[in-house]
């Protein structure tokens, strides 16, 4: 075995350690979230969905909101973090209209939830089986989307919206949506 061949395992090991170090540092700095799955519909047009209304027989079509900036918030009564973000969504709804989608929920439980935590939504839809939300790529509640007037998804957040988010990337996306 020649000299360079004997150094090869060591070289490979060093490379692996380097990668591991970089990734661990990113994790501890917070720039890398191992729980995020790389949702990639951001900067893509929002799908043209028509959902059934939460109450009554009508439908809500996202196409009707073309030309306006708006937000979509996916929530459910069984979702703990959704309760945490209720006040933030309220604040958000003062800036731009928020469409709520009640995801895989019992209507009575959902109604109770809205009574208890408030109903900030301009329009409320229900997605009993998740068939509509899956088109948006929803996989873990709560999820919030910011849509620009031209229909582009400017921002997507998975997890509860906190005041810090309203000042951070989410808030910036809202401003961009309203500005354009």
Partner 1 sequence: MPWLVATALIHSVIVVVKSDTFKTWTVLLAILGFALSLLGTFIVRSGLLTSVHSFASDPARGMVILAMLVVSIGAPLLLFALRGDRLTSKDQSRLISRETALVANNLLLVVATATVLIGTLYPLALEAWNGARISVGAPFYNATFAPMMGFMVVIMAVAPLMAWRIADGRQVIIRMFPALGLVALTMILSILIIDDFSMTAAATLGLAFWLIGGVVTDLIMTAGFHRQDRALAWRRLVGIPLSRWGMNLAHLGTAVFILGAAGASFFESETIERAFPGDVLTAGNKTYRLESVMPIEGPNYSSTAATISLLDEQGAVIDTIISEIRFYPVSGTTTTEAAIRPRLSGDAYAVLGDGDAERGYTLRLYDKPLVSWIWGGASLMALGGLLAMARGQKEKTS
Partner 2 sequence: MSRIWRVKIITFIAVLMLAMQSGSPSFALTPEERLDDPRLEQRARDLSLQLRCLVCQNQSIDDSDAPFAQDLRRLIRRDIEAGKSDDDIIAFLRQRYGDYVLLNPPLTSSTYLLWIAPFAILGLGIGIVFLSRRKQHHEDEADERKDQ
Which residues lie near partner 2 (CB under 8 A)?
1-2, 5, 37-41, 44, 104, 129-131, 133-137, 139-140
CB 154 within 8 A of CB 42: yes
Burial-class residue 71 by CB neighbours within 10 Å (0-12, 13-18, 19+).
buried
Element (H, E) at 90: helix 80-95
Q: Please, which residue, 21 or 48, has the CB nearer to partner 1? A: 21
Q: Residue 104: which of partner 2, partner 1, none does it interact with, CB under 5 to 8 A by kind? A: partner 2
Q: Are strands 98-103 and 153-158 parallel, antiparallel or unpaired?
A: unpaired
Q: Residue 39: which of partner 1, partner 2, none does it interact with, CB under 5 to 8 A by kind? A: partner 2
- CA-atom Rg of the chain in angstroms: 21
Q: Per CB under 8 A, which of residues 38..97 are in contact with partner 1?
A: 38
Q: Please, which residue, 35 or 179, has the CB nearer to partner 1? A: 35
Which one of the spans 4-12, 52-60, 76-84, 93-101 is the region binding partner 1 (CB under 8 A)?
4-12
Q: Residue 53: which of partner 2, partner 1, none does it interact with, CB under 5 to 8 A by kind? A: none
Buried-exposed string 8-42: b where 16+ CB fall within 10 A, e elsewhere = eeeeeeeeeeeeeeeeeeeeeeeeeeeeeeebeee
Distance of closest approach, residue 38 Cβ to partner 1, in angstroms: 4
Q: Are strands 50-52 and 98-103 parallel, antiparallel or unpaired?
A: unpaired
Q: Residue 21: which of partner 1, partner 2, none does it interact with, CB under 5 to 8 A by kind? A: partner 1
């Amino acid at each position: 075995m020649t000299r360079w061949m004997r150094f090869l395992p060591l070289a490979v090991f060093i490379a692996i350690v380097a990668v591991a170090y970089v990734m661990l540092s990113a994790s501890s700095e917070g720039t890398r979230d191992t729980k995020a799955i790389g949702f990639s519909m951001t900067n893509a047009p929002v799908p043209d969905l028509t959902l059934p209304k939460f109450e009554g027989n009508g439908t809500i079509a996202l196409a009707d909101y073309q030309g306006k900036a708006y937000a979509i918030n996916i929530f459910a009564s069984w979702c703990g973090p959704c309760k945490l973000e209720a006040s933030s969504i309220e604040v958000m709804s003062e800036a731009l209209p928020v469409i709520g989608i009640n995801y895989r929920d019992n209507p009575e439980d959902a109604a109770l939830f809205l009574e208890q935590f408030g109903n900030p939504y301009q329009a409320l839809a229900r997605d009993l089986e998740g068939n509509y939300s899956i088109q948006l790529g929803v996989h873990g509640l709560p999820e919030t989307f910011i849509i620009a007037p031209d229909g582009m998804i400017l921002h997507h957040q998975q997890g509860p919206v906190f005041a810090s988010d309203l000042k951070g990337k989410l808030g910036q996306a809202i401003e961009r949506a309203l500005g354009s």
